[in-house]
Amino acid sequence: MMAVNWRALLQENRDLFFNIHNEEIKEGKGYLGAAANAEKVESVKEQVFEYYISDVNARLIYEKNA
Amino acid sequence: MGHEFIGQLAKNMKNVEYDRVIYNSKNYIGNRNHVWQIDNKKYTPEDVAEKILSVAKANVERFYGERVDGAVITVPASFNHDQIESTKNAAKSAGFLEDRLIFISEPTAALLDLIYEEKLSDKRNTIHDFSKPKKVLVFDLGGGTCDVSIMNVEINGDDYKVEELAISPHTQLGGVDFDICGVLYLLHKYSILNDIDHKRMPHHVDVKRYIFSVLSLEIEKARIMFSSLSSGLTGEGYGDVVYRNSLENFYTGQSFEFEISKKEYDECIKPLLTKGGNLGFNIIDPIIDTLNKANLGKEDIDEVFLVGGMTAYSTVREAIENFFGKKTISYLDPMYSVAKGAALYNYYNENKKKIEKGKIIIYPVVAENIYLDVKNNLPVLLVSQGTKAPYEKVHEGIVKVDNATGIKLDILSGKSIYDPKMKRLKSVQLTFTDIIKPGTPISIKVTFDKNRILHLEAWVTGNFKQRIDVTFDKEVLYDGC
């Protein structure tokens, strides 16, 4: 069972083993312990920036008021 | 329905009752949208905090044989007012009296413990001299959060003055993230040993819950072993420490015999310890952020003090020391220094009422800029980060009435108005009992109390007697990240 040479395997497959993505960690944390119903709130970025202080508009308003 | 267990008893059940244990509830306090469900019973983070505080209260009362109705409660420095207020509500529900509750930040409490221990020791044995003002960065890495504070510490005779200069944003990064990195690595190993892609294993959520729970416990055990056996073995040439175990009936009736070495594990957690990378979060970013907020460079920091269970792990400590290019202070028990600091604060606070000498003065600060989202214009800065609490300010004519019966405004927090990570903390409803003509300016008074809880008052500008009802929306918007 322990015949795999992990050191060699790790060197060959560094990307597979160690390039963990944020989403994988988030998903994994969701499997720890009791189940939770979490309603994720939409980022304010979309609401605030997209509607009336998009980056361009924000700068225009800022310059107007400065 | 079974009994409820709190603390170590609950922790011991992670292995057997893995789907009935609530993890990291502190991370979600202030967020009423996060609800755990066990046996058709729902638990909010505030419910969990209430139960923990009730057990702590009962234990202390049993030990001293007398009623306890006050407490010094420590919270992460980066907790916003919603999170502190929710913790306060939990404490009230647990039977503590509101006016006997004091909130101090965890890094500040740990620092008090350090200063006190230094003062107790014989002058010849004192390692860190606090007789002159010093800038101390406290790095607190616990189970679920990473908290960084920069403080100015001054000792004058018997008096301690701790001035918070800057606090990191609330960063959900802790022991649990370090565990999951190891779990994902073990799952890759399982895939190779059994010629199966773990990502394609049947996705029954209960099976996944079991797999992640048992493997995270194994990683925790491995880390404890690495900490105890590898102390003193540092540098490139040191031998490795290997953790081996076998899990019976791991998946589809088959066992999983595995091993993981310290070097392998350290490689797994590297993305969490290094700036950059594809994770988008790591322990270095909040340090840089806090230094920037305080307008300081890393060379301006006199001492770096490590707190929290995860800082006991040598690889974490080395990453911080490499960043600062100097040794850190971590000789106290990182698990208990916060609790000891809270007890010290209470002792000195009571002392202050009786005699003039020997007091602790803490100047807490607001962690992030707080904005009021004035419709059709840029958000207005209500309180800037670094403002010392308690604090109050009147913003004359900050908003104009656009609806005759009331206005709903949002409170935001972020680094600047251009911050793409700006968060909406909560909504505020201004309700007019009498109709107010559209276009009338409204003034708002902002108050942060000594516990850093936000209060708002509003009235028609120029007519202080024409008060406006202010209610914080019960719908909680804080997303807990």
* pLDDT tens-place string over residues B342-371: 999 888 877 666 665 667 778 888 878 888
CA B290/CA B110 separation, integer angstroms: 18
Q: Does the CB of B377 have a partner CB in chain A at under 8 Å?
A: yes
Rounded to a whole number of angstroms, the distance from the CA of B206 to the nearest CA of chain A is: 9
Of A18, A35, A47, the CB nearest to B36: A35
- CA dihedral sign, ordered B85, B91, B93, B97: negative
Whether residues B19 and A34 touch (CB distance < 8 A) is answered with: yes
Whether residues A25 and B19 touch (CB distance < 8 A) is answered with: no
What pLDDT is attached to residue B448? Answer: 83
Task: Inform me whether the pLDDT recorded for A8 exceeds 80.
Answer: no
Task: Inform me whether the pLDDT recorded for A51 exceeds 50.
Answer: no
CA B423/CA B478 separation, integer angstroms: 7
**Which residues of B are less than 8 Å from A4 in CB distance?**
192-193
Task: Inform me whether the pLDDT recorded for B157 exceeds 80.
Answer: no
Whether B145 contacts B174, CB under 8 Å: yes
**Which residues of B are less than 8 Å from A21 in CB distance?**
278-279
Q: Does the CB of A15 have a partner CB in chain B at under 8 Å?
A: no
Mean pLDDT of chain B: 84
pLDDT digits (tens, 9 = 90+) for B183-223: 999 988 888 887 777 676 666 777 888 889 999 999 999 99
Residue B337 phi/psi, 5° resolution? -65, -30
Task: Inform me whether the pLDDT recorded for B131 exceeds 80.
Answer: no
Task: Inform me whether the pLDDT recorded for B178 exceeds 70.
Answer: yes
**Which residues of A are less than 8 Å from B193 in CB distance?**
1, 4
What pLDDT is attached to residue B326? Answer: 92
Give the pLDDT band (50/70/90) at residue B449: confident
What pLDDT is attached to residue A44? Answer: 47
CA B324/CA B306 separation, integer angstroms: 13
pLDDT digits (tens, 9 = 90+) for B383-394: 888 888 888 999
Rounded to a whole number of angstroms, the distance from the CA of A24 to the nearest CA of chain B is: 8
pLDDT-wise least confident of A11-25, B161-175, B382-396, B415-429:
A11-25
What pLDDT is attached to residue B380? Answer: 85
Task: Inform me whether the pLDDT recorded for A42 exceeds 50.
Answer: no
Residue A24 phi/psi, 5° resolution? -65, -40
Taking phi over 0 as left and psi of -120 to 50 as alpha, with beta for the rest, B215 belongs to alpha
How much of chain B exceeds pLDDT 90, in percent?
32
Query: Strand, helix or coil at B397?
Result: strand
Give the pLDDT band (50/70/90) at residue B376: low
Q: Does the CB of B418 have a partner CB in chain A at under 8 Å?
A: yes
**Which residues of A are less than 8 Å from B377 in CB distance?**
61
Query: Average pLDDT in the A37-63 region?
Result: 50
Which homologous superfamily does the CATH classification assign to the domain defined by B8-103? ATPase, nucleotide binding domain (3.30.420.40)
Identity (one letter) of the amino acid at A21? H
- CATH 3.30.420.40 for domain B107-171+283-341: yes
Of A18, A32, A61, the CB nearest to B377: A61
**Which residues of B are less than 8 Å from A41 in CB distance?**
33, 424, 477-479
CATH fold of B369-472, please?
Substrate Binding Domain Of DNAk; Chain A, domain 1 (2.60.34)
Within the 23-52 window of chain A, which residues sit less than 8 Å (CB to CB) from chain B?
Answer: 24-25, 28-29, 31-41, 43-45, 47-49, 52
Whether residues A52 and B417 touch (CB distance < 8 A) is answered with: no
State pTM to two decimals. 0.80
Whether residues B259 and A2 touch (CB distance < 8 A) is answered with: yes
What pLDDT is attached to residue B282? Answer: 92
| Chain A, chain B: beta-carbon pairs less than 8 Å apart | 134
What pLDDT is attached to residue B405? Answer: 75
CA B326/CA B439 separation, integer angstroms: 59
- CA dihedral sign, ordered B269, B275, B279, B283: positive
What pLDDT is attached to residue B159? Answer: 77
CATH number assigned to the domain with residue range B175-271, chosen from the 4 options 3.10.450.350, 3.40.50.2000, 3.20.20.100, 3.90.640.10: 3.90.640.10
pLDDT-wise least confident of B263-267, B379-383, B451-455:
B451-455
What pLDDT is attached to residue B150? Answer: 94
What pLDDT is attached to residue B51? Answer: 96
Q: Does the CB of B477 have a partner CB in chain A at under 8 Å?
A: yes
Strand partners, B393: B446
Mean pLDDT of chain A: 64
Locate the chain A residue with the closest alpha carbon to B39.
Answer: A34
Task: Inform me whether the pLDDT recorded for B477 exceeds 50.
Answer: no
Radius of gyration of chain A (CA): 23
Rounded to a whole number of angstroms, the distance from the CA of B304 to the nearest CA of chain A is: 28
**Which residues of A are less than 8 Å from B425 in CB distance?**
none
Whether residues A33 and B213 touch (CB distance < 8 A) is answered with: yes
State the best of B417, B475, B478 to mutate against chain A, taking most chain A CBs within 10 Å: B417
Give the pLDDT band (50/70/90) at residue A45: very low
Q: Does the CB of B197 have a partner CB in chain A at under 8 Å?
A: no
For chain B, the domains span: 8-103, 107-171+283-341, 175-271, 369-472
What pLDDT is attached to residue B218? Answer: 94
Query: Average pLDDT in the B445-467 region?
Result: 83
pLDDT digits (tens, 9 = 90+) for B22-39: 988 988 898 878 899 888
**Which residues of B are less than 8 Å from A20 in CB distance?**
181, 184, 268, 271, 279
Whether residues A44 and B412 touch (CB distance < 8 A) is answered with: yes
| ipTM confidence score | 0.73
- Of B109, B48, B470, B131, nearest in space to B307 by CA: B109
Q: Do the domains at B8-103 and B107-171+283-341 have one common CATH topology?
A: yes
- CA dihedral sign, ordered B330, B297, B165, B365: negative
Whether B103 contacts B88, CB under 8 Å: yes
pLDDT-wise least confident of A14-28, B18-32, B125-139, B320-334:
A14-28
**Which residues of B are less than 8 Å from A39 in CB distance?**
33
